Amino acid sequence: MLPSVPKADFPNPARHHRSAWDVFRVPLLVGLVCAAGLGLALVGDGIWDGLSWLALSLPVALAAFYWRRAGRSH
């Protein structure tokens, strides 16, 4: 096992190990949306800029959502 990671970091040892695909599925999607967002504003103005703002706000929204959910759960 990982020498640097204490057991406490894994609270749920009974659960199955996830595959790399399971772990990286969501991050990959977020990454693709962000890449599209970075590119869209280069293409044109107006609607393209708007789409770019939305796409690049996704990481911010996800971080805010999960941080708040963690705060509410106890």
Partner 1 sequence: MVQARTIRLWSRVHTWTSLVCMLFLLMLCVTGLPLVFHDEIDDLLEDEIAAPAMPEGTPRLSLDRMIAAAQARFPGQYVLLLNLKQTEPLVTVAVSPTAIPAPGNFHRLTLDARTADVLGEEAPHQGVMDIVLRIHKDMFAGLPGELFLGAMGLVFAVSIISGIVVYWPFMRRLDFGTIRRRSSPRVKWLDTHNLLGIVTVTWTMVVGLTGMINTLATPLFDLWRAQLIPVLLAPHLGKPVAPIPSVQAAVELVRSRFPDRLVTSVTMPTSARFGSPQHLVVWTKGATPFTARMLQPMLVDANDGKTIVAPEVPWYLKTLQVSRPLHFGDYGGLPLKIVWAVLDVMTIIVLVSGIYLWAARRSSVRGKPLGAGRTEAVGV
Least Cα distance to 32 among 55, 65, 12, 50 occurs for 55
Q: How far is the CB of 27 from partner 1 (least distance, A)?
A: 5
Least Cα distance to 56 among 40, 43, 38 occurs for 38
Spatial separation of the C-alpha atoms in residues 41 and 58, rounded to whole Å: 15
Q: What single letter denotes the amino acid at residue 59?
A: P
Q: Is 18 in the site for partner 1 (CB under 8 A)?
A: yes
Residues of this chain, 22-61, that bind partner 1 according to CB under 8 A: 23-27, 30-31, 34-35, 38, 41-45, 49, 52-53, 56-60
Q: Which residues bind partner 1 (CB under 8 A)?
A: 1-13, 15, 17-18, 20, 23-27, 30-31, 34-35, 38, 41-45, 49, 52-53, 56-60, 62-63, 65-67, 69-71, 73-74
